[in-house]
Structure 1
Amino acid sequence: MQLLLVFQGRKLRITVILGAHNVRDREQSQQRIHVRQWVIHPKYSCEGFKNDIVLLKVGINTSPPAHLPKPLNLFLVPSGAECEVAGWGRTSLTGNGSNVMREVELKVQKEKICQQLFKNYQPQSMICVGDDYRKKGVYKGDSGGPLICNQKAHGIASHVPYGYVYPEVFTRISYFKPWIREQLRKFSLQDLPGSPFSD
């Protein structure tokens, strides 16, 4: 079942594309899967992008889940750690998004750097990443991409300072792991035969 969503007055049909490199081409490696359901964190706020996380339930289980960090240690990724992020976002402040996936290595920064730039920065639920030394980072169109550190997904690309590329703020996945597990449990219950919530 394809889910028809209403968001800010617009109806959205969301499709997840797996195995894509060039988003302008229909590559043989691509799999298009309709999103059956989504859930936005109940305390999400566009002011400061607090609790900036959403889960999508797709039609079939086609790939293994990303390895998540342990929830008890919220600062598993120390400042100075090298991480990777990929996406199809803009490659300059005024340019267009990229047709092909690009990847960049970024360094985790000390929390005080983002606390000075973002008045709503929350170190328990956010990660400060990127510096002007490398002159590269995530930007518009990269939101939602994973921050991979030591082969584990630790963050989700969230936002950058207005008019700048770095540093960037990522949603800290470990902080939301209890909420993620609860939503996955609800998704599983919906798939049980005879469930009033099943498709």
Structure 2
Amino acid sequence: MLLLLLLASSFLLLPWAGAGRIIGGWEAKPHSRPYMAYLSIQSESGRHRSKCGGFLIRPDAVLSAAHCVAGKKNVNITVTLGAHNINKNEPTQQVFHVGHWVIHPKYSGYTSENDIMLLKLKPRAKLTKSVSYIPFARYKERVEPGTTCHVAGWGWTSRSRDVTSVLMEADLKVQRENICEDSFKKYYLQQSMICAGDENGKKAAFRGDSGGPLVCNGKAHGIVSYGPQNSIFPKVFTRVSYFERWIRAELRKFALQDQPDSPSSV
């Protein structure tokens, strides 16, 4: 499963719409990451389907990446919690057909700025040993370069689309800002992005780990966002702490929608 790639000198942003699987990682202990969400995104016609990751931050809310859905019309989103093998009907799984989601209003598909999306679950998830939420980083809370963090996802295990159906995980180090600035130039924004990866080029989040969390010191600090086309290092993650105020404002709106007098609660 380990994949050793030469780092390419050419640069190209590559948002990963589609589910991904960790390259150079290992199978996670079943249900050891109970916050993980599996997103299936399908056109109404059923002809087009993509997959992404996400993570539960409240019984009624999942965070993911905006690029998983942005630009797609008339899509149906299904969120599965409590899964290890997404091809099996496990008794731990809870499945939700999502009727409401919010993409950051300033998301840019061209620059990958503000690559964050919040999905509302209705009914709320039932918290169990296999389904629980993860705390996320607060405003201005940062993680230092050299910190070992963790990513997880389903899907590709190599650039040649090798796949399996179980949750995979890997550890990645937070990198110095200049690593991503050198790779992505003006597209990398220190305030709202985190630079991370395996400098040896053996491990990475890849296509479709999109939307999954970068977990550092027990908190979700990043969201899998984009990387270079011709290598697996470095990777860019949406910095969750930068968006804390936006997230909490949207969560308050979710709560208002659940009030009996709200038209959207019908």
Query: TM-score scaled by structure 2?
Result: 0.69
Q: Which residue of 2 aligns with 1:169?
A: 236
Instruction: Quote the Cα distance in structure 2 between the aligned partners of 1:22 and 1:44.
Output: 32
Instruction: Quote the Cα distance in structure 1 between the aligned partners of 2:189 and 2:218.
Output: 24
* Aligned sequence identity (%): 49
- Count of residue pairs the alignment pairs up: 194
Instruction: Quote the Cα distance in structure 2 between the aligned partners of 1:128 and 1:105.
Output: 14
Within the alignment, does 1:90 sit opposite 2:156 as a pair? yes
* Residue of 180, 205, 223 corresponding to 1:114: 180
Q: Which residue of 2 aligns with 1:25?
A: 88
Instruction: Quote the Cα distance in structure 2 between the aligned partners of 1:98 and 1:50.
Output: 31
* Residue of 130, 134, 146 corresponding to 1:66: 134
Q: 1:42 to 1:27 in 2, by over 3 A?
A: same
Q: Which residue of 2 aligns with 1:38?
A: 101
Q: Which residue of 2 aligns with 1:156?
A: 223
Shift of residue 9 of structure 1?
Answer: 5.7
Supply the AA of the counterpart residue of 1:72. K
Higher relative contact order (CA 8 A, sep 6+): 2
Instruction: Quote the Cα distance in structure 1 between the aligned partners of 2:219 and 2:143.
Output: 10
* Residue of 99, 103, 111 corresponding to 2:169: 103
| More strand, by proportion | 2
CA RMSD of aligned residues (A): 1.9
Query: TM-score scaled by structure 1?
Result: 0.90
Q: 1:140 to 1:61 in 2, by over 3 A?
A: same
Instruction: Quote the Cα distance in structure 1 between the aligned partners of 2:43 and 2:100.
Output: 9
Instruction: Quote the Cα distance in structure 2 between the aligned partners of 1:158 and 1:31.
Output: 25
Q: Runs of 4+ in structure 1 displaced over 6 angstroms?
A: 4-7
Does the 8 Å CA contact 1:97/1:141 hold for their aligned counterparts? no
Give a deviation string over 1:99-127, Cα, whole Å, max 9, x none.
11100011000010001111300011000
Q: Which aligned pairs between 1:174-185 and structure 2 lie closer than 5 A?
A: 174-185=241-252
Q: Which aligned pairs between 1:134-149 and structure 2 lie closer than 5 A?
A: 135-149=202-216
1:99 aligned counterpart, secondary structure:
strand
Instruction: Quote the Cα distance in structure 2 between the aligned partners of 1:166 and 1:8.
Output: 27
Instruction: Quote the Cα distance in structure 2 between the aligned partners of 1:9 and 1:147.
Output: 25
Q: 1:59 to 1:5 in 2, by over 3 A?
A: farther
Unaligned stretches of 5+ in structure 1? Answer: none
1:118 aligned counterpart, secondary structure:
helix
Q: Which residue of 2 aligns with 1:128?
A: 195
Shift of residue 36 of structure 1?
Answer: 2.5
Does the 8 Å CA contact 2:152/2:213 hold for their aligned counterparts? yes
Shift of residue 131 of structure 1?
Answer: 2.3
Instruction: Quote the Cα distance in structure 1 between the aligned partners of 2:265 and 2:94.
Output: 24
Instruction: Quote the Cα distance in structure 2 between the aligned partners of 1:89 and 1:9.
Output: 21
Does the 8 Å CA contact 2:197/2:233 hold for their aligned counterparts? yes
Q: 1:33 to 1:86 in 2, by over 3 A?
A: same
Supply the AA of the counterpart residue of 1:71. Y
